[in-house]
Amino acid sequence: MPEEAKKEKKPYMPPPPPEGKEVLVSVRGVDKIFTKGGETVYALNDINLDIYRGEYVSIMGPSGSGKSTLFNMVGALDRPSKGEVSVGGVSLPSLASSNLSYFRCKHIGYVFQSYNLIPWLTAMGNVMLPLTFLGTPEEEAKARAKHVLELVGLGHRLDHTPGECSGGQQQRIAVARALANDPSIILADEPTANLDQKTGQEIIQLMKDLCVSEGVTVITATHDFKMLKASDRIVWIKGGNVSKVEDVSNLDIRVGGVSESDYNE
Ligand SMILES: Nc1ncnc2c1ncn2[C@@H]1O[C@H](COP(=O)(O)OP(=O)(O)OP(=O)(O)O)[C@@H](O)[C@H]1O
Ligand SMILES: [Mg+2]
């Protein structure tokens, strides 16, 4: 986006949190600029966003709008070009690289479109990895891995490798792995993109259930309008800007369900 066009837009600014809500993730004035082959891409332009502890937020926007880039900022996988991101009061841009990997493993669980499981490890082995990384003793790690695999409905597939599981089951293993270290946040970037509609909805419902039962904050990106129902709030992102943030209940009242016209407002 040209610099002038960028300056014309008034950025979204979050209101003070409603009573009883605690801001867990705070994003302020975040820009992300990529320069490649002489081209400058303003992937994020002055993003301001608050995400409350225990809520389920969907980030919605067309391809290339900056969803994954925003995820990488919130998930401490990349640093902003400018601005501040804090999680639980910890400023991520100011953490040294060595502290960032510990922070990621301890506080954030990641779920990706392509599952990203280790093919030669069993479901147990995959889920134990982040526990082992943080130095959890083996017996404790085994018990925790078994517990979270049972939570996602895979108590009967503990010794299966990913190749011996369906796509939906593999994504459940990934959700269990994300939960292993009892994170405050699960970040799920297009978690249903490789799944059929029914299995995708089951994964979304699973994350919604975990959000309610485990109190974990879920932040997910999706293209799929049918996946928005589980959300408490929806963040609409367009051209690297937050265009609006809405409660899902408002959406239902206004349009009787979300429709593609929401993209075009
Ligand atoms: N490492 C990079 N180097 C250069 N440009 C990048 C890089 N990563 C992302 N971009 C650009 O930043 C913009 C936002 O990309 P991003 O991946 O965040 O979009 P997205 O909303 O996640 O899209 P999708 O729905 O297709 O996954 C795009 O124009 C993309 O080409
Ligand atoms: Mg993406």
- Domain presence at residue 171: yes
- Domain presence at residue 15: no
**Nearest alpha carbon, ligand 1 atom 28:** 64
- Structure tokens, 245: 């943030």
Q: What is the CATH number of the domain that holds 39?
A: 3.40.50.300
Interval between CA 245 and ligand 2 midpoint (Å): 19
The total domain count for the chain is 1
Q: What is the pLDDT of residue 249?
A: 83
Q: Are 133 and 180 in contact (CB under 8 A)?
A: no
- Domain presence at residue 200: yes
Q: What percentage of the chain exceeds 90 in pLDDT?
A: 76
Interval between CA 192 and ligand 1 midpoint (Å): 19
Lowest-pLDDT range, 32-36, 73-77, 180-184, 222-226?
A: 222-226
User: Is the full-model pTM beyond 0.75?
Assistant: yes
Q: What is the pLDDT of residue 253?
A: 41
Q: What percentage of the chain exceeds 70 in pLDDT?
A: 91
Buried-state track 121-157, b at ≥16 Cβ within 10 A, e below 16: ebbbbbbbbbbebeebeeeebbebbbebbebbbbeeb
- Domain presence at residue 1: no
- Domain presence at residue 122: yes
Residues with CB under 6 A from ligand 1: 34, 36, 41, 43, 61, 63-69
Interval between CA 189 and ligand 2 midpoint (Å): 7
Residue 264 has pLDDT above 90, yes or no: no
Amino acid in position 206: L
What burial class does residue 194 get, using C-beta atoms within 10 Å of its C-beta: 0-12 exposed, 13-18 middle, 19+ buried?
middle
What burial class does residue 54 get, using C-beta atoms within 10 Å of its C-beta: 0-12 exposed, 13-18 middle, 19+ buried?
middle
Interval between CA 61 and ligand 2 midpoint (Å): 9
Helix (H, G, I), strand (E, B) or coil at 49: strand
Concatenating the DSSP letter of every residue in 167-232 gives HHHHHHHHHHHHHTT--SEEEEESTTTTS-HHHHHHHHHHHHHHHHHH--EEEEEES-GGG-TT-S
Rounded Cα gap, residues 199 and 207, in angstroms: 13
Q: What is the pLDDT of residues 109-154, one digit of tens each?
A: 999 999 999 999 999 999 999 999 999 999 999 999 999 999 999 9
Q: What is the pLDDT of residue 191?
A: 92
- Domain presence at residue 6: no
- Domain presence at residue 116: yes
Q: What is the pLDDT of residues 54-86, one digit of tens each?
A: 999 999 998 999 999 999 999 999 999 999 999
Lowest-pLDDT range, 3-12, 90-99, 119-128, 234-243?
A: 3-12
**Nearest alpha carbon, ligand 1 atom 29:** 64
**Nearest alpha carbon, ligand 1 atom 16:** 66
β-strand partners of 246: 234
Q: What is the mean pLDDT of the chain?
A: 90
Atom of ligand 1 nearest to the CA of 35: 4
Please tell me the number of the ligand nearest to residue 67's CA: 1
Pocket test for ligand 1, best of 69, 71, 219 (most atoms within 8 A of CB): 69
Interval between CA 117 and ligand 1 midpoint (Å): 23
Please tell me the number of the ligand nearest to residue 65's CA: 1
Q: What is the pLDDT of residue 256?
A: 46
Atom of ligand 1 nearest to the CA of 72: 18
Atom of ligand 1 nearest to the CA of 223: 25
Q: What is the pLDDT of residue 255?
A: 47
Atom of ligand 1 nearest to the CA of 70: 18
Band (pLDDT 50/70/90 cuts) for residue 224 is confident
- Domain presence at residue 46: yes
| DSSP letter, residue 158 | T
Residue 225 has pLDDT above 90, yes or no: no
Interval between CA 125 and ligand 1 midpoint (Å): 32
Rounded Cα gap, residues 99 and 56, in angstroms: 27
Residue 211 has pLDDT above 50, yes or no: yes
Q: Which residue range(s) make up the domain with 129?
A: 23-264
Lowest-pLDDT range, 91-100, 169-178, 252-261?
A: 252-261
Q: What average pLDDT score do residues 160-181 get?
A: 96
